Chains A and B, each alone.
Chain A
Amino acid sequence: MSSVLYDAPGPVARRRELWGSVIGTLVILGALFLAARYAAGRGVFQADRWDVLWDPPKGQSAGAVWRSILVNGLGATLRAAAIAAPLALVLGLLLAVWRRAANAVVRAPAIAVVELFRGLPVLVVMFFGWVGFGMKPMQAVIFGLVLYNMAIIAEILRAGLAALPRGQAEASLAIGMTRWQTLRTVELPQAVRTMTPSLVAQLVVLLKDSSLGFIIGYPELLRAIQNNTQYFGQKYSVALFAVGALVYLAINISLSRLAVRLQRRGSKRTAGAIDGQRAAAELPAGAVVLDPAAGRDRMGP
């Protein structure tokens, strides 16, 4: 897209671009250098601020530190996510199907549930479980993650069902399938497949949201980092924080990449199919369809 906005650069423009790139790089590197020098001046990079990672004080072993972060902390984060994700998926699917009911009165509760939990911060739902129902922190975290994400997954699946060409449902109804058979054997499989990238991207949000457990006292990754900092002393907080941030980035970026790859593969597969032609007829050539779930629902805390 961006390459359409300007000409393929000629020799003069290329030279100018080269200079611009060099200067831009220098400015950015210079800023980074100044920041690093400032931090070094504060002693942030001295080995005695980082040795907690390989030779911790207080007679502890490095293995124990890493175990508390990666096994206990990250383990708790992943455990909450691993329990919440399938539950949210099943309940989201149920809500999406419920919303397809022929009768508006039957549909209403499903719509209300989705709108209610989409509109609430996950943390508020967790507090409901924790303070309101007196749940344990882990239960409250899972409670919040499931209720919020089931609403989002229901929305994603609804968008997937709405994006299917009408002909799909019409054809299966025409050959005598019931509405339920149509939904189950024709519409849902296609909707789930087209929406797989969005569903994977929602996993990233779910994993990120599990960090809210920190606030209600669930001993997840951030809490493990904080406990270590409090035990070994504030001067190690940079090193321990760096570990936590890198763990989150590594997991979430891999999941995001997976979502993008699934999306590319999906769009290649349907390029010549009916929905591809339909999309081509309705949208200007080359237009990228806006992701219906982008923004609001992708942006968990």
Chain B
Amino acid sequence: MDIFVDNLPAYWSGFRVTLLLTLYSGAASLVVGAVLAAFRVAPLRPLRIFATTYVEVFRNTPLTLVFFGMVLVAPQFGIIPPLGFWTAVLCLTLYTSAFVSEALRSGINSVGVGQAEAARAIGLTFGQSLTLVILPQAVRTVIPPLINVIIALAKNTSVAAGFATVELLASGRRLTQAYPGEGMLIFAGVAAFYLLFTIPAGLLATSIEKKVAFAR
């Protein structure tokens, strides 16, 4: 237990990096994912094909492979990403935006067809029916899945530990090198910090889900 208390600053600085990674890549993924989702319901076919391909590719690629490509292969193209934090943000954003787009799209799809038909029937245009009728309803259903995507993102930041970013897991790894033989205890501390974020966020998602389930 002493190890844990003595090294609280190390844990804390790692946890801070994990949170920052989650914050930056979460914000960027929400923007990119929203654009992709808009592309996927747009009337223009090339946009749909582009967005669908992007989502399909990144959903079926391991995040480790994205990191691997960015860190070890991109330099062959003359792109030398800064090692560490910002590369991790870029990789996490590329990967997570595909899932954000999927969550948003299923939210749009979950609004009853009747709603869209009614909006069209009273003469609203594509833009109007999307912004006035579909999206306000979709946003409510979409919040719990989005929170879940952010939780997954927070957990996925741990992959950055394997690629020169000293976040929570890598801090723990460093501690195990300083205190060999205490791996269990040290990683229990790491786990506790992850749960500190994921469990409350999961509870939040569940409670919102219960509320919006009867909203429609």
Chain A interfacial positions (CB closer than 8 Å to B): 1-2, 4-7, 9, 17, 20-21, 24-25, 27-28, 38-39, 42, 44, 115-116, 118-124, 127-128, 131-134, 204, 208-209, 211-212, 214-215, 222, 225-226, 229, 234-235, 237-238, 241, 244-245, 248-249, 252-253, 256, 283-291, 294-301
User: Can you identify 5 A-B contacts, CB atoms within 8 angstroms?
Assistant: A17-B43, A121-B169, A127-B183, A128-B191, A131-B173
A115's partner among B56, B61, B112, B199 (CB-CB below 8 A) is B199
User: Which residues of B from 40 to 71 have beta carbons under 8 Å from A?
Assistant: 40-47, 50, 56-57, 59-65, 68-69
User: Which residues of B from 108 to 158 have beta carbons under 8 Å from A?
Assistant: 108-117, 120, 125-126, 129-130, 134, 141, 145-146, 148-149, 151-153, 155-158
Which A residues lie within 8 Å of B159 (CB)?
121, 123, 212, 215, 301
Which B residues lie within 8 Å of A229 (CB)?
72
Which B residues lie within 8 Å of A21 (CB)?
44-46
Given known pairs A290-B110, A301-B62, the reply for A296 and B151 (CB within 8 Å) is: yes
- Chain A CB count within 10 A is highest, among B65, B77, B116, for B65
Closest to B162 in A: A215
Q: How far is the CB of A267 from chain B (nearest CB, A)?
A: 14
Q: How far is the CB of B60 from chain A (nearest CB, A)?
A: 4
B60's partner among A127, A249, A301 (CB-CB below 8 A) is A249
B130's partner among A5, A44, A295 (CB-CB below 8 A) is A5
- Tell whether B34 is near chain A: CB-to-CB under 8 Å: no
User: Which residues of B from 171 to 216 have beta carbons under 8 Å from A?
Assistant: 172-173, 176, 183-184, 187, 190-191, 194-195, 198-199, 202, 205, 216
- Tell whether B73 is near chain A: CB-to-CB under 8 Å: yes
Q: How far is the CB of A261 from chain B (nearest CB, A)?
A: 15
Interface contact A1-B109, CB-CB below 8 Å = yes
Bound form: Cα–Cα A134–B187 in Å: 13
Bound form: Cα–Cα A229–B46 in Å: 36
Bound form: Cα–Cα A25–B99 in Å: 24
A296's partner among B75, B149, B176 (CB-CB below 8 A) is B149
A1's partner among B41, B47, B69 (CB-CB below 8 A) is B41
- Chain B CB count within 10 A is highest, among A209, A234, A286, for A286
Interface contact B183-A249, CB-CB below 8 Å = no
Interface contact A131-B120, CB-CB below 8 Å = no
- Tell whether B82 is near chain A: CB-to-CB under 8 Å: no
How many residues on B have C-beta within 8 angstroms of the other chain's C-beta atoms?
Answer: 79
Chain A contact residues, majority secondary structure? helix
Interface contact A121-B158, CB-CB below 8 Å = yes
Bound form: Cα–Cα A9–B126 in Å: 12
- Tell whether B78 is near chain A: CB-to-CB under 8 Å: yes
Closest to B129 in A: A5
Closest to B117 in A: A4
Chain B interfacial positions (CB closer than 8 Å to A): 40-47, 50, 56-57, 59-65, 68-69, 72-73, 75-78, 96, 99, 102-103, 106-117, 120, 125-126, 129-130, 134, 141, 145-146, 148-149, 151-153, 155-159, 161-162, 169, 172-173, 176, 183-184, 187, 190-191, 194-195, 198-199, 202, 205, 216
Bound form: Cα–Cα A14–B104 in Å: 28
Bound form: Cα–Cα A4–B108 in Å: 12
Bound form: Cα–Cα A20–B116 in Å: 24
Interface contact B76-A222, CB-CB below 8 Å = no
- Beyond known contacts A2-B43, A244-B65, A284-B216: 4 more, CB 8 A cutoff: A27-B46, A120-B191, A124-B169, A215-B161
Which A residues lie within 8 Å of B115 (CB)?
284
Interface contact B114-A214, CB-CB below 8 Å = no
Bound form: Cα–Cα A299–B148 in Å: 9
Interface contact B63-A7, CB-CB below 8 Å = no
Interface contact A252-B106, CB-CB below 8 Å = no
A241's partner among B68, B125, B134 (CB-CB below 8 A) is B68
Interface contact B76-A127, CB-CB below 8 Å = no
Closest to A245 in B: B65
Which A residues lie within 8 Å of B113 (CB)?
1, 4, 284-287
Given known pairs A7-B120, A124-B169, A291-B106, the reply for A44 and B146 (CB within 8 Å) is: no
Given known pairs A17-B44, A299-B156, the reply for A131 and B176 (CB within 8 Å) is: yes
Q: How far is the CB of A252 from chain B (nearest CB, A)?
A: 4
Bound form: Cα–Cα A63–B173 in Å: 38
Bound form: Cα–Cα A132–B135 in Å: 47
Q: How far is the CB of B182 from chain A (nearest CB, A)?
A: 9
B184's partner among A128, A211, A215 (CB-CB below 8 A) is A128
Closest to B152 in A: A299
